[in-house]
């Protein structure tokens, strides 16, 4: 099939563009027959698996590799070798390109595959079809951005997903990101009916997050002084630590579980005020919080979600931080204490260069201007 250039733009126009980058695969000469999406596969992997991860060196994939190695699994990475190639010297590394160069995957067998970096249906379809005879189980890391309507709380796995008028579109931007991910889910399932686990994370946070969309708050609060906070402290937030996501994902793979799962958290109402208070307690800073009216911030041109992470005013996104995760919790998803996530994220952020270019958050001079 001829290939086309994949154009990628910033996801800043759509809140759950939580930048997932990664991949994987598995071992069984004859795949099992198709079955109900929500039933466990007739196989499981109680001991060491051969696991292929497509990607594996950025954020979600990196945590998956770390968790898989800690659980005694044998990991193979397939990627272009362009990001952190020095990581994981103990694992097998296959080089290629998902858009047209899958040669290194041919003729191989693994127990399971995880696709952490699929954004375009054509590309996901090519990988999944190639691996259909090589693996029993395929995990696709999707996003809660697939849903068509965030205006109401309680979104669950049965709610409608977004659609594109032209499904041949491959430009990834704020409007197409979610619907393209939904089409990727469908492409994976079509290639491996009944053998796909689809995980729809919310805002993924923790060490090595390239987006800064949570890291900004622990870091800013640790600097101390007067901190601009948007709206009200009871503004609800949902996040998931990347390590909790990875460990739970692996447990589902080991059990051969399939189906659709929203994956965000925690399993109790969390507010932006709690995030900031916890960040102050962890860093032991002298930060004080000035809660600024949303109308003023919007009139001043402040970008929700980007310049002030976790803040999404307006009815259009009223349900984004009220996504239903009961199914995932029932399937074993657990959440580490918020102070642990804040502490580890801050410790990692403090290892970055002093001139790190933040991708989210208010620059100091802009914050001071707004606080005058």
Q: Which residues pair with 270 in a beta bridge?
A: 237
The pLDDT value given to residue 274 = 98
**Total residue length of the chain:** 372
Nearest to 366 by CA among 236, 216, 205, 222: 216
| Cα–Cα dist 203/192, whole Å | 28
178 is written with which tokens?
């979610």
Chain position carrying tokens 């507010």: 271
Query: What is the predicted pLDDT for the residue at 33?
Result: 31
The burial of 355, by beta-carbon neighbours within 10 Å (0-12 exposed, 13-18 middle, 19 or more buried), is given as exposed
Give pLDDT, residue 360.
Answer: 97
Taking the C-alpha atoms of residue 112 and residue 345, their distance in angstroms, rounded to an integer, is 30
According to DSSP, the β-strands at 240-241 and 270-271 are unpaired
Q: For residues 313 and 298, is the Cβ–Cβ distance under 8 A?
A: yes
Q: What is the DSSP string of 5-73?
A: PPPB---TTSTT-------EEE--SSPPPP--TTSPPS---SS--EEEEES-SSSHHHHHHHHHHHTT-
Residues contacting residue 297 through CB under 8 Å, at least 6 positions apart: 230, 231, 308, 370
Long-range pairs for 267-271: beta carbons < 8 A, 24 or more residues apart: 267/325, 267/329, 267/335, 269/236, 270/236, 270/237, 270/238, 270/239, 270/338, 271/233, 271/234, 271/235, 271/236, 271/237
- pLDDT tens digits along 211-246: 999 999 999 999 999 999 999 999 999 999 999 999
Could you give the domains of the chain? Answer: 24-207+239-263 (3.40.50.720), 216-238+267-318+337-371 (3.90.25)
Q: pLDDT tens digit string along 33-43?
A: 333 334 334 44
3 state DSSP class of 300: coil
Listed in sequence order, the residues at least 6 apart from 367 whose beta carbon sits closer than 8 Å to its beta carbon are 227, 228
d(CA 221, CA 278): 10
318/314 Cα distance (integer angstroms): 7
pLDDT digits (tens, 9 = 90+) for 45-57: 557 899 999 999 9
Residues in contact with 255: Cβ distance below 8 Å, sequence separation at least 6, in sequence order: 40, 44
Each of the 372 residues of the chain gets a pLDDT tens digit; together they read 333 333 333 333 333 333 332 222 222 222 333 333 343 344 455 578 999 999 999 999 999 999 999 999 999 999 999 999 999 999 999 999 999 999 999 999 999 999 999 999 999 999 999 999 999 999 999 999 999 999 999 999 999 999 999 999 999 999 999 999 999 999 999 999 999 999 999 999 999 999 999 999 999 999 999 999 999 999 999 999 999 999 999 999 999 999 999 999 999 999 999 999 999 999 999 999 999 999 999 999 999 999 999 999 988 999 999 999 999 999 999 999 999 999 999 999 999 999 999 999 999 999 999 999
The closest of 65, 69, 125 to 99, measured between CA atoms, is 125
Spacing of C-alpha 77 from chain mean position: 18
Tokens standing for residue 257: 């579980």
Which residues touch 298 (CB under 8 Å, ≥6 apart)? 304, 313
């Amino acid at each position: 099939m001829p290939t086309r250039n994949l154009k990628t733009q910033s996801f800043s126009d759509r809140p759950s563009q939580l930048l997932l980058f990664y991949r994987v695969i598995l071992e069984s000469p004859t795949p099992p027959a198709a079955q109900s999406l929500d039933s466990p596969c007739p196989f499981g992997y109680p001991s060491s698996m051969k696991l292929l991860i497509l990607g594996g060196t950025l954020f979600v994939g990196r945590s998956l590799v770390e968790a898989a190695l800690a659980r005694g699994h044998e990991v193979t990475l397939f990627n272009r070798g362009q990001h952190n190639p020095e990581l994981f010297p103990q694992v097998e590394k296959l080089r290629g390109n998902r858009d047209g160069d899958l040669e290194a995957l041919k003729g191989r067998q693994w127990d399971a595959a995880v696709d952490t970096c699929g954004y375009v249906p054509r590309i996901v379809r090519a990988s999944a079809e190639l691996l259909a005879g090589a693996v029993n189980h395929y995990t696709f890391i999707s996003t809660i951005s697939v849903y068509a309507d965030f205006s109401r709380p309680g979104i669950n796995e049965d709610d409608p997903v977004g659609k594109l008028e032209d499904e041949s579109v491959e430009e990834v931007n704020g409007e197409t990101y979610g619907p393209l991910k939904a089409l990727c889910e469908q492409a994976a399932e079509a290639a491996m009916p009944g053998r796909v686990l689809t995980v729809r994370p919310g805002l993924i946070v923790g060490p090595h997050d390239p987006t800064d969309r949570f890291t900004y708050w622990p870091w800013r609060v640790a600097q101390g002084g007067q901190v601009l906070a948007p709206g009200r402290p009871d503004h609800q937030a949902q996040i998931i630590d990347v390590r909790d996501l990875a460990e739970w994902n692996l447990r589902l793979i080991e059990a051969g579980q399939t189906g659709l799962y929203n994956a965000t958290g925690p399993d109790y109402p969390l507010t932006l005020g709690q995030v900031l208070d916890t960040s102050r307690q962890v860093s032991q800073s002298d930060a004080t919080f000035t809660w600024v009216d949303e109308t003023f911030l919007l009139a001043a041109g402040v970008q929700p979600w980007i310049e002030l992470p976790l803040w999404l005013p307006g009815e259009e996104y009223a349900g984004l931080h009220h996504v239903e995760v009961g199914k995932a919790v029932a399937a074993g998803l657990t959440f580490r204490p918020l102070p642990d996530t804040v502490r580890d994220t801050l410790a990692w952020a403090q290892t970055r260069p002093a001139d790190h270019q933040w991708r989210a958050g208010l620059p100091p001079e802009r914050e001071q201007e707004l606080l005058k």
